[in-house]
């Protein structure tokens, strides 16, 4: 019970801080609904909170103790609160609602009943997974060798340790798991500092937050395009992906990354959909913010997802400029905005990595890797997506929908998702096939499955949006044909 209480406080405090940050970033032109802001704040909050504590710690100002976590965050919260108060954002009625009109629910009764059953089924699975997560010891290799181990080291030593004793008198230095961003271990350290001891249910239980946060933000994003029933169906389909629920209810870091990545992609999509410059600016500020935090989750974000998202944002802005939606000045200002916010959050961690000689790959350095074609990887990828139900029927539906949608699948704003999903997946496949030391990650289905896990929620979102697009188009075509006949 104490663990649960600490967990709730340990999530709520960072959540409140992040809520303030989101409120300030959106400013007088909010783009998130109230529910979205809360879910986003809870999902991103611990990362922002630990980032501030990390910054204060590496600057030599604080230790990784309860005070060390709270003090710098209180200072930041006061600054953000003051900013929000003076800008009038905290006063009731001053915060204009976002220009979002949620589609009505037009689903027939039988469909609502079916979706309700699917949601109950998803709920049963999540509850079962949660009970297991809170009741069993730390079992998985990466948990006790990386995420939990580092969190416990930070908690015991009260500082960021880069040298990890492996056992048998072997020390692991910068080349190993220390090259991973410390956000997740620091969340565990923070919760343990709050609790006063290292408790397995507490440090493992926090992983549910990102799984539920991902499901919540997925549902809320769908809600912008679909009625309640279809949005719930989408969330139930996401929760049905076996590897997602397995990883979501176990102390691994990939759902943690996936939840952050999904929010970054949501910002890009929001920017793509925005009709006004103000709306666009708000989404771009949020994109910079989520991208900055994304870099603090796992190395894959730095070497793969963030560069791709930045390129897509640039492409989007260039397109908006060409079509006359924004001026040259607004274009430059938008790029500057993303760069400043992203830079503030990304540079401290990247500089820390650079200064300490930490590698940039997936626990393997990406420099000096040899290129060679490995046919076994092709077989492993094929087996993973066609013979194993890791992603249920998503590997079949995704290419099918892309084929059916044809050229329209590549048109923005949905096209942003298409490019992101296709480049991320094919990019990873090519890396595994041609970069020799990464081949094992695909053949053993370790890095391969996790890479796909990061992208799976975006891929499912893309499928659902393409289905909607195709159905709407056929209806429109039918209507126009009937009108022509009349």
Partner 1 sequence: MPIRRFIWLLIAAFSLALPLTAIAKDSRTLEFAAGEVNATWEGHGTISMQKQPDGILLSTTGTGFILTRQVLGIFPQAGDVTVSTDLGTGLYFVWIYNDDPDKRPYDVGISVPAGKRVTVPFSLSQHRQWYDKPMQFGLVLPPKTTILLHRIELTQWNFAERLLFGLKALWTFDAERPYSINFVWGPQIAWNPAAIKDLYAYLPPIFTSVTYALNIFLLLCFAVIAAFVFLRGNPQDRRKRFLRIALGVLLAGWVLLDVRMGSEFISWVVEDYRTYIAAPANLKTFRDRERFYDFAAFAVPYVFDRQTYVFFADREWPFLGNMRYLSYPAIPGIAYDRDDTWIIYNRPDITLDEQGRVTIGGEAVSLPGRVLGRFDSGSFAFRTYQKPVLPSPSPAK
Q: In the complex, which residues of this chain contact partner 1 (CB under 8 A)?
A: 118, 121, 124-125, 128-129, 131-132, 135-142, 144-145, 148-149, 152-153, 156-157, 165-169, 237, 240, 242-243, 245-247, 250, 252, 383-384, 386-390, 392-393, 396-397, 400, 404, 444-446, 449-450, 467, 470-471, 474-475, 477-478, 481-482
- CA–CA separation, 463 and 193 (whole Å): 43
Q: At closest approach, how far in Å is the CB of 242 from partner 1?
A: 5
Q: At closest approach, how far in Å is the CB of 449 from partner 1?
A: 5
The count of C-alpha atoms lying within 13 angstroms of the C-alpha of 55, restricted to the half-sphere facing its C-beta, is 21
| Residue 172 φ/ψ, nearest 5 degrees | -100, 125
Q: Quick one: 30 or 395, whose CB is closer to partner 1?
A: 395
| Residue 334 φ/ψ, nearest 5 degrees | -65, -45
Closest alpha carbon to 312 in 462, 469, 421, 430: 421
Q: Quick one: 247 or 299, whose CB is closer to partner 1?
A: 247
Q: At closest approach, how far in Å is the CB of 160 from partner 1?
A: 16
For residue 323, give every residue at least 6 positions away whose Cβ sits within 8 Å of its Cβ, in sequence order, or none: none
Q: Quick one: 147 or 349, whose CB is closer to partner 1?
A: 147
| Residue 166 φ/ψ, nearest 5 degrees | -80, -25
Give the count of beta carbons closer than 10 Å to the beta carbon of residue 485.
6
Strand partners, 167: 170
Q: Quick one: 60 or 109, whose CB is closer to partner 1?
A: 109
The count of C-alpha atoms lying within 13 angstroms of the C-alpha of 8, restricted to the half-sphere facing its C-beta, is 4
Q: Quick one: 337 or 467, whose CB is closer to partner 1?
A: 467
Q: Contact at 8 Å (CB) between 338 and 268?
A: no
Q: At closest approach, how far in Å is the CB of 226 from partner 1?
A: 14
Q: At closest approach, how far in Å is the CB of 178 from partner 1?
A: 15
| CA angle (373 as vertex; 243, 438 as ends), nearest 5 | 45
Q: At closest approach, how far in Å is the CB of 372 from partner 1?
A: 24
Q: At closest approach, how far in Å is the CB of 212 from partner 1?
A: 17
For residue 446, give every residue at least 6 positions away whose Cβ sits within 8 Å of its Cβ, in sequence order, or none: 440
- CA–CA separation, 419 and 31 (whole Å): 24
Strand partners, 164: 172
Q: Contact at 8 Å (CB) between 209 and 49?
A: no
Q: Quick one: 95 or 125, whose CB is closer to partner 1?
A: 125
Q: At closest approach, how far in Å is the CB of 22 from partner 1?
A: 32
Q: At closest approach, how far in Å is the CB of 257 from partner 1?
A: 15
For residue 68, give every residue at least 6 positions away whose Cβ sits within 8 Å of its Cβ, in sequence order, or none: 53, 56, 57, 62, 158, 193
- CA–CA separation, 286 and 293 (whole Å): 11
The secondary element (H helix, E strand) that includes residue 28 is none
Q: Quick one: 208 or 342, whose CB is closer to partner 1?
A: 208
Q: At closest approach, how far in Å is the CB of 214 from partner 1?
A: 17
Q: Quick one: 285 or 384, whose CB is closer to partner 1?
A: 384
Q: Quick one: 134 or 419, whose CB is closer to partner 1?
A: 134
Q: Quick one: 165 or 343, whose CB is closer to partner 1?
A: 165
| CA angle (270 as vertex; 269, 275 as ends), nearest 5 | 120
């Amino acid at each position: 019970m104490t663990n649960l209480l600490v967990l709730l406080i340990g999530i709520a405090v960072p959540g409140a801080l992040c809520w303030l940050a989101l409120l300030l970033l959106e400013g007088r032109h909010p783009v998130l609904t109230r529910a979205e802001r809360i879910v986003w704040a809870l999902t991103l909050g611990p990362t922002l909170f630990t980032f501030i504590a990390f910054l204060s710690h590496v600057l030599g100002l604080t230790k990784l103790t309860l005070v060390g976590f709270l003090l710098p965050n209180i200072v930041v919260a006061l600054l953000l609160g003051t900013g929000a108060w003076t800008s009038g954002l905290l006063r009731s009625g001053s915060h204009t609602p976002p220009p979002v009109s949620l589609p009505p629910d037009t689903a027939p009764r039988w469909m609502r009943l079916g979706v309700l059953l699917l949601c109950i089924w998803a709920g049963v699975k999540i509850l079962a997974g949660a009970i297991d997560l809170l009741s069993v010891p730390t079992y998985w290799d990466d948990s006790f060798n990386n995420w939990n181990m580092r969190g416990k080291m930070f908690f015991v030593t009260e500082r960021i340790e880069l040298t990890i004793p492996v056992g048998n008198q072997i020390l692991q230095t910068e080349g190993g798991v220390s090259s991973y961003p410390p956000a997740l271990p620091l969340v565990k350290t923070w919760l343990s500092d709050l609790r006063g001891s290292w408790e397995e249910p507490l440090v493992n239980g926090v992983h549910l937050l990102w799984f539920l946060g991902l499901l919540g933000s997925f549902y809320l994003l769908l809600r912008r395009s679909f009625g309640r029933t279809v949005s719930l169906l989408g969330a139930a389909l996401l929760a049905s992906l076996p590897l997602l629920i397995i990883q979501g209810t176990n102390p691994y870091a990939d759902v943690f990354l996936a939840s952050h990545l999904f929010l970054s992609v949501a910002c890009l999509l929001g920017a793509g959909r925005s009709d006004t410059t103000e709306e666009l600016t708000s989404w771009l500020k949020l994109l910079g913010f989520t991208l900055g935090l994304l870099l603090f989750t796992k190395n894959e974000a730095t070497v793969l997802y963030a560069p791709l998202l930045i390129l897509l944002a640039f492409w989007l802005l260039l397109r908006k400029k060409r079509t006359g939606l924004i001026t040259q000045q607004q274009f430059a200002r938008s790029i500057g905005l993303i760069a400043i916010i992203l830079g503030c959050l990304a540079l401290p961690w990247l500089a820390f990595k650079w200064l300490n000689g930490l590698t940039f790959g997936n626990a393997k350095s990406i420099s000096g890797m040899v290129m060679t074609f490995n046919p076994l990887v092709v077989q492993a990828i094929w087996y993973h997506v066609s013979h194993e139900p890791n992603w249920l029927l998503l590997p079949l539906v995704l290419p099918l929908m892309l084929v059916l949608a044809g050229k329209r699948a590549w048109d923005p704003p949905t096209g942003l998702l298409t490019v992101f999903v296709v480049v991320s997946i094919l990019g990873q496949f090519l890396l595994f096939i041609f970069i020799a030391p990464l081949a094992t990650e695909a053949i053993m289905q370790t890095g391969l499955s996790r890479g796909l896990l990061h992208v799976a929620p975006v891929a499912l979102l893309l499928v659902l949006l393409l289905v909607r697009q195709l159905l709407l188009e056929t209806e429109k075509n039918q209507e126009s044909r009937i009108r022509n006949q009349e």
